[in-house]
Amino acid sequence: MSGRLYGVGLGPGDPELVTVKAARLIGAADVVAFHAAQHGRSVARALAAPYLRAGQVEELLVYPVTTETTDHPGGYQGAIDEFYEAAAARLAAHLDAGRDVVVLAEGDPFFYGSYMHMHKRLAHRYPTEVVPGVTSVSGAAAVVGRPLVERDEVLTVLPGTLPAEELAEWLATTDSAAVMKLGRTFSSVRDAFEMAGVLDRAIYVERATTERQRTMPLAEVDPETVPYFSLALLPSELTGPTPGPEQYDEAGPRTGEVVVVGLGPGQRSWTTPEAAAALAAADDLVGYGPYLDRVEVNPRQTRHPSDNRVEAERAAHALELARAGRRVAVVSSGDPGVFAMAAAVLEVADRPGYAGIAVRVLPGLTAAQAVASRVGAPLGHDFAVLSLSDVLKPWDVVLDRLRHAAQADLVLALYNPRSKARPHQLGEAQKILLEVRDVETVVVVGRDVGGPAEEVRVTTLGELDPETVDMRCLVLVGSSRTRVGPGGAVYTPRSY
């Protein structure tokens, strides 16, 4: 079995920008190879030093020529090609012997990197993997704090070895550019920027992300001080110091909004990614205290807990915050549109003074769905959802609707079934149902479903004990077709 060849990118110079994978492979390799000029000092080897281990074979690949002249019959290119062939042969000997070889590369191996010359000569012969690294262009943009491109803009990467006229043509027609390989080419590169009319916004970056980094306007650089490890950036005009049309202006007016969010009935996994994203983006969280407690605390956000019976006041507070430019998330349990805050917010938003404030409603998993899922599929056919609370509608209306839904033989999902303030009402509802439903009608009582005190019971309409039900429960009353299967699953057949 042959060894495996790895081309490993080390990033632009900061040792902490070496990836976890790169560090692991360097430490595991049998052979670590790296390039250097005639002086023998390797930047790549210095970056990899913390990850090397005792006993590894190091292959120093010294260029025969960099900026010097050569008497090789093939000139500079001939000397370099001969060197690459010899270096590849040295690495192949290790690979043939079954030793894994890591070739180090500053930046990214396939971005003006010396590794690519080994890759072209060896990758078709041996198992090979390339590990990308942070490029010098990315590092330079980061240290100057200037995005390179946005939207449909074009970034052009150019070698500074191009003739000044050709380089200027590229610079004049692109949105953003990075010019590599400076050093001896610097004067020509600066001339190209000036010919293209963009020298005023060009930035010089030297040894980006290292302790020796230097940044300054390109027009102010002394050509005698420019090393090879430097580049010239031409950031997009849209990302300049003056805010562009889509840049955020801290001093400008902000447009607020209200997003009404459903957390689902219990466990965190029942909160949708869309709802979680809205919660994360909010400046303010408004809601019933216990529901807000289910949302992780973020010190950037302001929380506004309130009592359970002040929905209109809570909605008005949220809208006032949004009118002041705040992004507000109004938090509900379950689905905000089912006996929750969505209707309350929209009702208040219809009042004079709130016109133009954006309100969005994001759905959530309902308590009825959650309880039903715990026992099977009792909502498998037509069903009705009713609240037994008479806080916002008369009790005789509740009973009338309950009677008609029962006569229609619908499965019923009963919210707010029984509270301390109205302990008798579930019993009255049970009597109404027994007027038209059999005592053996299947009933499911779910309490705190998805929460730490979850309890689900399957009983019958005749055996249901209202004293065992509270406001943390949801009651499902089956139709005449709802049944309990041999395995204990409750379901309502799809046919009627």
Q: What percent of the chain has pLDDT over 70?
A: 96
Region 6-10: mean pLDDT is 97
DSSP assignment of 465-484 equals: -GGG--TTEEEEE--TT-EE
Question: pLDDT tens across 47-79, in order?
Answer: 999 999 999 999 999 988 766 667 777 777 888
Grouping H, G, I as helix, E, B as strand and the rest as coil, residue 217 is strand
> CB–CB of 218/194 below 8 Å?
no
> CB–CB of 193/131 below 8 Å?
no
Strand order of the sheet with strand 473-477?
383-387, 411-415, 473-477, 442-447, 455-460
> CB–CB of 486/415 below 8 Å?
no
Pick from 6, 5, 4, 8: nearest CA to 19: 8
Residue type, 132: P
DSSP alpha helices (H): ranges in 245-391? Answer: 273-281, 289-292, 311-323, 341-349, 367-375
Kindly state the tokens that stand for 245: 């049309």
Q: What percent of the chain has pLDDT over 90?
A: 79
Q: Cβ–Cβ contacts within 10 Å for residue 222, how many?
A: 7
Region 129-151: mean pLDDT is 94
Q: Is the pLDDT of residue 3 over 60?
A: yes
Q: What is the pLDDT of residue 245?
A: 47
> What is the pLDDT confidence band of residue 273, given thresholds at 50, 70 and 90?
very high
Predicted model pTM: 0.64
> What is the pLDDT confidence band of residue 372, given thresholds at 50, 70 and 90?
very high
> What is the pLDDT confidence band of residue 436, given thresholds at 50, 70 and 90?
very high
Region 73-99: mean pLDDT is 91
> CB–CB of 209/142 below 8 Å?
yes
Q: What mean pLDDT, rounded, does the chain reach?
A: 92
Pairing of strands 214-217, 203-206: antiparallel
Q: What is the pLDDT of residue 251?
A: 57
> What is the pLDDT confidence band of residue 293, given thresholds at 50, 70 and 90?
very high
Q: What is the pLDDT of residue 248?
A: 47
The Cα angle at residue 222 between residues 219 and 225, in degrees rounded to 5: 135
Which domains does the chain possess? Answer: 5-133 (3.40.1010.10), 137-239 (3.30.950.10), 257-365 (3.40.1010.10), 368-491 (3.30.950.10)
Question: pLDDT tens across 295-329, in order?
Answer: 999 999 999 999 888 889 999 999 999 999 999 99
Beta bridge partners of 415: 387
Question: pLDDT tens across 225-251, in order?
Answer: 999 889 999 998 877 654 444 444 555
Distance in angstroms (rounded) separating the CA atoms of residues 75 and 69? 8
Region 93-108: mean pLDDT is 97
Q: What is the pLDDT of residue 78?
A: 82
Question: pLDDT tens across 409-419, in order?
Answer: 999 999 999 88
> What is the pLDDT confidence band of residue 331, given thresholds at 50, 70 and 90?
very high
Q: In this structure, what are the phi and psi dihedrals at residue 249, rounded to the nearest 5 degrees?
A: -110, 110
**CB neighbour list of residue 250: distance below 8 Å, 6 or more residues apart:** none
Q: What is the pLDDT of residue 105?
A: 96
Residue type, 210: T
